[in-house]
């Protein structure tokens, strides 16, 4: 089998047994990129030269008999909203088209320390705002399962890269579903960790109280491995949690007998496609066969989460994105007359429609006279949504639901109707408001042959329980072995 088809843990074995070199692995992945990238468009920037250099370093270490970790020599894609020193970091926005940061994000630094090899920077919805990657100011990424369809978003490039074997593992960010939704639509594994578990330092902020970095992978073991290296406290991020990071792979293979699963009925409403619901129920039944117990549970404020999210996230975004003003970095309008005009024209030329819309919405929601009615109200509702989960986790180990109402939709289908696009985030958004972890993994294909995602949610810092359940399901069903025929 081609090396690019393998997982990180499979490649690691071959590497330490000296069956293959890191250079061969990296070359194999770039060969795959040469083959399919013009169809999939996962990447904004490729960093082949640096990647091969890093691969050679890994090979030297191995040749010298040094012990290398599980991510050593593994080709990894990084979403283009994570700061990479000397490598263009655009957030898929024209306003940052030429920005080269002088520092690395903590996550990137940790991956480099683990000897991972960065293949390139992955495409995304501009500033992570969107659910289809159609909002990229750079290019349109397609779904490797059907090139006429969207890969999901906002981390569409990261998801598509793993689905199309253009990277072994990738990293994305999830503010309202931006890892889980594209993972579902592309048929790969994606985890949004507990808020505060992975440092946000160097992640270009969209909505600071919701943003969280997480991995995409081809199977659960790789996901757990990746988390072993990026989780943990960071003194550069004040909101980073002071928790001990376990070895997540230890949770894999543990029996799930007697585990209690909650099935939130609000996540199976009318808006959810029947094929999706059926696949998720089938998965729940499979887990029951494996010895878990399930019960339906109500999370009564689910319906309000979306509205709260679409006030909180744009409000924070309007402030976070104010710094793109053409003074210190990025695009500056050539047309302007005076400072204020320069600001206005720079931002007009540099931002795409969705970003402008959310900046406008957020500015309005924070403005004098509306703060209490919108932003503060939304934060109170956030408390209620959070309490729903707190109550549920008193009873259940994990909660299980669909990730998305439908499988991948066609490019262009929803791009003119922002509200419809927002509604597609209905199953993922409450998780961000509560700050809990949730994983998306493949649970079968629909009648069109498109992947369906299964969402497993856990309580704060209980990623291990999620991995335990996810691994049991994966090993039993092998849905992750289904691949697109690119």
Partner 1 sequence: MLDGYEMTVGLEIHAQLDTNTKIFCSCKNEFGGEPNTHTCPICLGLPGTLPVLNEKAVDYIIKAGLALNCEIATFSKFDRKNYFYADLPKAYQISQFDLPFCEDGEVKINPEGEEEMIVGITRIHLEEDAGKLNHDGDISNANSSLVDYNRVGTPLIEIVSEPDIHSPAQAIAYLKKIRSILEYIGVSDCDMSQGSMRADVNISIAPVGSDKLGTRTELKNMNSFKAIEKALYYEPKRQKKVLESGGEIVQGTMTWDDEAGKTRAMRSKEEAHDYRYFPEPDLVPVVVDDQWVAKIKEEIPELPDTRQKRYVEELGIPEYDAGVITADRQMADFFEGVVSDYDNAKAVSNWMMGDFLRLLNEEDITISEVKFEPKDLAQMLKLMDDGIISSKIAKTVFEEMFATGKTPDTIVEEKGLKQISDSSELENIVSKVLEENQSAVDDYNSGNKNVIGFLVGQTMKATRGKANPGMVNKILREKLEG
Partner 2 sequence: MKIDKETVEKVAHLARLEVNEEEKDTFAHQLSDILDHAEKLNELDTDDVEPTAHVLPIKNVFREDKVEDSLDRELALSNAPDKDKGMFKVPKIVE
List interacting residues with partner 1 (CB under 8 A).
Answer: 81-83, 89, 91, 96, 99, 101-103, 105, 200-205, 207-209, 235-239, 315-316, 318-319, 322-323, 325, 327-329, 339-340, 343, 363, 366-368, 371, 375
- Residue 381, binding choice from partner 1, partner 2, none, Cβ under 5 to 8 Å by partner class: partner 2
Q: Which is nearer to partner 2, 63 or 360 (CB)?
A: 360
Taking CB under 8 A as the rule, does residue 322 contact partner 2? Answer: yes
Outline where 142-219 has alpha helix (H): 156-163, 180-186
3-state secondary structure 249-261: HHHCCCCCCCCEE
| Dist CA 294 CA 434 (whole Å) | 22
65 vs 102 by CB, closer to partner 2: 102
Whether 28 is catalytic: no
- CA 141, 146, 148, 151 dihedral sign is negative
* Sheet strands (E) in 71-194: 75-79, 117-122, 169-174, 189-192
Q: Is 336 in the site for partner 2 (CB under 8 A)?
A: yes
Let me know: does 8 contact 70? Beta carbons within 8 Å.
Answer: yes
Q: Choose among partner 2, partner 1, none what residue 41 binds, the Cβ cut-off being 5 to 8 Å by kind.
A: none
84: DSSP letter: B
> What is the token pair recorded at 176?
């309202």
* β-pair partners for 294: 261
CB 377 within 8 A of CB 115: no
What minimum distance in Å lies between the beta carbon of 366 and partner 1?
A: 4
Binding partner 2 (rule: CB under 8 A), the pick from 44, 241, 299, 450 is 241
Q: Known catalytic residue: 380?
A: no
Of 394-423, binders to partner 2 (CB under 8 A) are: 418-419, 422
Which option in partner 2, partner 1, none does residue 471 bind, with CB closer than 5 to 8 A by kind?
Answer: none
241's contact among partner 2, partner 1, none, with CB below 5 to 8 A by partner kind, is: partner 2
* Centroid of chain to Cα 162: 12
> What's the min distance (Å) between Cβ of 208 and partner 1?
4
The option from partner 1, partner 2, none interacting with 91 (CB < 5 to 8 A, set by class) reads partner 1
Cα gap 178→436, rounded to integer Å: 15
Give the residue with the Cβ less far from partner 1, 5 or 348.
348
Select 116 or 366, whichever has its Cβ closest to partner 2: 366
Buried b (16+ CB within 10 A) or exposed e, 230-260: bbbebeebeebbeeebbebbebbeeebeebe
Q: How far is CA 132 from CA 148, 151, 153, in A?
A: 12, 6, 4
Closest to partner 2 by CB, 121 vs 347, is: 347
- The catalytic residue among 132, 178, 240, 424 is 178
d(CA 270, CA 268): 7
- Catalytically annotated residue among 21, 132, 154, 155: 154
Rounded CA separation 2/14 (Å): 13
CB of 302 to partner 2, least distance (A): 12
Task: Indicate the Cα dihedral angle 457, 182, 451, 279, nearest 10°.
Answer: 30
Clarify whether 154 is annotated catalytic.
yes
Nearest CB to partner 1, comparing residues 12 and 460: 460
Please say whether the beta carbons of 396 and 297 come within 8 A. yes
d(CA 240, CA 236) in angstroms, rounded, equals 8
Q: What residues numbered 84-103 form the site for partner 2, per CB under 8 A? A: 98-100, 102
DSSP of 143-164, one letter per residue? BTTBTTB---SSSHHHHHHHHT
- 17, 67, 258, 337: which one contacts partner 2 (CB under 8 A)? 337
- Number of residues binding to partner 2, judged by CB under 8 A: 69
Q: What's the min distance (Å) between Cβ of 307 and partner 2?
A: 5
Catalytic residue among 21, 54, 79, 110: 79
Does residue 206 touch partner 2 according to CB under 8 A?
A: no
Instruction: Give residue 95's Cα distance to chain centre.
Output: 22
Q: Looking at 64, 65, 296, 338, which residue binds partner 2 (CB under 8 A)?
A: 338
316 contact choice in partner 2, partner 1, none (CB below 5 to 8 Å, kind-dependent): partner 1
Binding site for partner 2 (CB under 8 A): 98-100, 102, 195-196, 209, 235, 238-239, 241-242, 301, 303-304, 306-308, 310-311, 318, 322, 325-332, 336-345, 347-348, 351, 356-357, 359-361, 363-364, 367, 374, 376-384, 386, 418-419, 422, 433-435, 460
Where in the sequence numbering do the catalytic residues fall?
Answer: 79, 154, 178
């Amino acid at each position: 089998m081609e090396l690019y088809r393998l997982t990180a843990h499979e490649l690691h074995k071959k590497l330490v047994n000296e069956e293959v070199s890191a250079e061969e692995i990296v070359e194999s992945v770039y060969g795959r990129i040469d083959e399919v990238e013009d169809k999939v468009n996962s990447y904004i920037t490729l960093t082949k030269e640096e990647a091969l250099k890093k691969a050679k370093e890994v090979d030297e270490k191995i040749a010298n008999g040094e012990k290398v970790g599980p991510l050593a020599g593994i080709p990894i894609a990084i979403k283009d909203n994570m700061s990479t020193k000397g490598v263009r970091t655009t957030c898929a926005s024209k306003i940052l088209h030429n920005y080269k940061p002088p520092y690395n994000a903590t996550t990137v630094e940790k991956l480099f320390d683990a000897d991972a090899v960065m293949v390139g920077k992955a495409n995304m919805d501009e500033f992570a705002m969107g659910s289809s990657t159609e909002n990229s100011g750079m290019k349109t990424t397609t779904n490797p399962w059907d090139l006429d369809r969207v890969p999901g978003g906002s981390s569409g490039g990261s998801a598509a890269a793993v689905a199309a074997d253009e990277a072994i593992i990738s990293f994305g960010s999830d503010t309202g579903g931006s890892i889980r939704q594209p993972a579902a639509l592309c048929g790969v594994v994606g985890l949004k960790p507990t808020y505060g578990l992975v440092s946000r330092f160097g992640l270009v902020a969209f909505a600071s109280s919701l943003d969280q970095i997480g991995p995409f992978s081809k199977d659960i073991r790789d996901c757990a491995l990746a988390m072993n290296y990026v989780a943990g406290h960071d003194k550069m991020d004040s909101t980073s949690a002071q928790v001990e990071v376990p070895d997540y792979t230890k949770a894999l293979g543990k029996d799930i007998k007697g585990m209690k699963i909650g099935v939130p009925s609000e996540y199976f409403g009318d808006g959810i496609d029947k094929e999706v619901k059926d696949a998720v129920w089938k998965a729940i039944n499979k887990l029951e066969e494996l010895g878990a117990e399930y019960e339906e549970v109500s999370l009564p404020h689910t319906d309000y989460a979306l509205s709260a999210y679409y006030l909180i996230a744009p409000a924070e975004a309007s402030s976070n994105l104010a710094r793109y003003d053409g003074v210190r970095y990025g695009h500056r309008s050539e047309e302007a007359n005076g400072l204020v005009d320069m600001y206005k024209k720079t931002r007009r030329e540099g931002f795409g429609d969705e970003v402008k819309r959310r900046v406008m919405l957020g500015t309005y929601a924070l403005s004098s006279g509306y703060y209490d009615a919108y932003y503060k109200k939304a934060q109170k509702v956030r408390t209620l949504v959070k309490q729903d989960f707190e109550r549920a986790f008193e009873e259940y180990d994990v909660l299980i639901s669909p990730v998305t109402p439908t499988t991948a939709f066609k490019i262009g289908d929803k791009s003119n109707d922002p509200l419809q696009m927002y509604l597609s985030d209905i199953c993922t958004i409450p998780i961000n408001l509560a700050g809990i972890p949730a994983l998306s993994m493949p649970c079968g294909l629909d009648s069109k042959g498109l992947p369906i995602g299964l969402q497993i949610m856990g309580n704060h810092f209980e990623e291990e329980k999620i991995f335990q359940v996810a691994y049991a399901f994966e090993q039993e069903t092998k849905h992750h072995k289904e691949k697109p025929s690119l």
